[in-house]
Amino acid sequence: MKIGCPKEIKPQEFRVGMTPNAAQEAVARGHEVLIETNAGIGSGFDNDAYIAAGARIIDTAEEVFATADMIVKVKEPQAVERKMLREGQLLFTYLHLAPDPDQTHDLLESGCTAIAYETVTDANGGLPLLAPMSEVAGRLAPQVGSWTLQKANGGRGVLMGGVPGVGPAKVIVIGGGVVGTHAAKIAAGMGADVTVLDRSLPRLRYLDDVFGDTFNNQYSTAGATAELIQTADMVIGAVLIPGAAAPKLISREQLSTMKPGAVLVDVAIDQGGCFETSKATTHADPIYDVDGIMHYCVANMPGAVARTSTIALGNATMPFMLSLASKGWKQACKDDAHLLAGLNVHAGKLTYEAVGTALNIDVVDPTTLLN
């Protein structure tokens, strides 16, 4: 198969769909890999790294799209990219179609087959191509939060680990899923006194079994949250209710009960945010102050560490990419129901129930397309 990887064109996107290592694995299986010139530069991979892996460097996105049987990307195709997709071509990337009728319409019109990273599943009921970005955002949250806590950035001027004779920062993590667990691990590693709140008892039992005394955990109620935030230096919002907007767990009135200069890091901002006063910010201007409480609410946190994010995403997508390339999408999806769960669009038909419901479009059962 000819596998094409264009340079990402969405503003502030520095990741790339294929690493040189992924390209090398594909080439070793007899595939041809076409990388748009400088596609990996934002993640620290120059053209020479891809050439050494056996890939070909292509001058323009137009040529990549025109030549490749499968396009591997990071972000959803932008309008100009969607015009270049054609019937029978395979697209493997993040799509997030439910809130995006224009993109959905264009993909259906193109006749391409589109597999969305975010709906591929795993045997544990998880989302293996979303998890790496949650791991990145979770581990980044205490890092950006601790920077925000510094005096010059509007914070309380508290050091995460304290020093001998001075206690550590108090960090509350609301939501103990993928983001919350990684945030708690890093905050505890920095020496902070960490408490994780979650609504799921099985999840709290898991955290207790695995992490023991590394951090505390507590059942999440409005009362527990109200009490804990009064002494917190940092609160990290990491909740998710699948298919719903994030619940608002700290109100504006409650900010006055917190210590001046305390920091809220709202990782759930991509689902609307879990603090009433959260509004999405960018890496260029990430923090703002409401009533003396500093907020960090960047919706695309993994973009700050593009190289780590590219490699983490590439590790997760590579086995699926290789299977699609070696077997073709039909056989690959026949052999793997979790990959089939990623199929969103095929030959002008929508194949993902939740997107159909959100956009009021008829959906075809993807299993009927496999024969």
Ligand X SMILES: NC(=O)c1ccc[n+]([C@@H]2O[C@H](COP(=O)([O-])OP(=O)(O)OC[C@H]3O[C@@H](n4cnc5c(N)ncnc54)[C@H](O)[C@@H]3O)[C@@H](O)[C@H]2O)c1
- Interface positions with ligand X (CB under 6 A): 133-134, 137, 174-180, 197-200, 203, 220, 238-241, 246-247, 249, 267-271, 299-302
- Closer residue to ligand X in complex, CB, 180/356: 180
| Comparison of 263 and 325: residue with beta carbon closer to ligand X | 263
Name beta bridge partners: 343.
Answer: 115
Output the CA–CA distances (angstroms, integers) from residue 273 to 215, 237, 268, 306, 328, in the order listed: 24, 8, 5, 23, 39
Provide the minimum distance between the beta carbon of 32 and ligand X in the complex, in angstroms, as a whole number. 33
Check 96, 105, 283, 338 and give the catalytic one.
Answer: 96
Going by C-alpha positions, the residue among 9, 13, 106, 101 that lies closest to residue 313 is 13
Residue of 198, 233, 266, 270 marked catalytic: 270
Nearest Cα to Cα of residue 145 among 7, 295, 333: 295
Residue whose C-beta lies closest to ligand X: 177
**Taking the CA atoms of the chain, what radius of gyration do you get in angstroms?**
22
Cβ nearer to ligand X, comparing 150 with 200? 200
Give CA separation, 4 vs 30, 110, 258, in Å: 14, 17, 51
Is 122 an active-site residue? Answer: no
CB of 36 to ligand X, least distance (A): 25
Q: Is 270 a catalytic residue?
A: yes
Minimum distance of ligand X from residue 293's CB (angstroms): 19
**Tokens representing residue 4 in the block:** 């094409």
Q: Which residues contact 320 (CB under 8 A, 6 or more apart)?
A: 92, 115, 120, 129, 332, 336, 339, 342
> Cα–Cα distance between 130 and 283 in angstroms, integer?
20
Question: In Å, what is the CA distance from 43 to each residue of 7, 34, 151, 235, 321?
Answer: 11, 17, 31, 30, 20
CB 224 within 8 A of CB 168: no
Q: Which is nearer to ligand X, 143 or 351 (CB)?
A: 143
At closest approach, how far in Å is the CB of 281 from ligand X?
10
Q: Which residue lies nearer to ligand X by CB, 258 or 325?
A: 258
Instruction: Name which of 91 and 179 has its Cβ closer to ligand X.
Output: 179
Alpha-carbon span 271 to 244, nearest angstrom: 8
What is the SS3 assignment for 326?
helix
Burial of 364 (0-12, 13-18, 19+ CB in 10 A): middle
**Residue 228, CA distances (Å) to 194, 209, 222, 238, 314 in order:** 11, 23, 10, 16, 38
Q: Please give the DSSP secondary-structure letter assigned to residue 266.
A: E
- Residue number with CB closer to ligand X (40 or 273): 273
The pair of structure tokens assigned to 324 is 């699609």
Measured from the CB of residue 317, what is the shortest distance to ligand X in angstroms? 16
In sequence order, what are the beta bridge partners of 185? none
Q: How far is the CB of 238 from ligand X (least distance, A)?
A: 5
Q: How far is the CB of 175 from ligand X (least distance, A)?
A: 3
Instruction: List active site positions.
Output: 96, 270
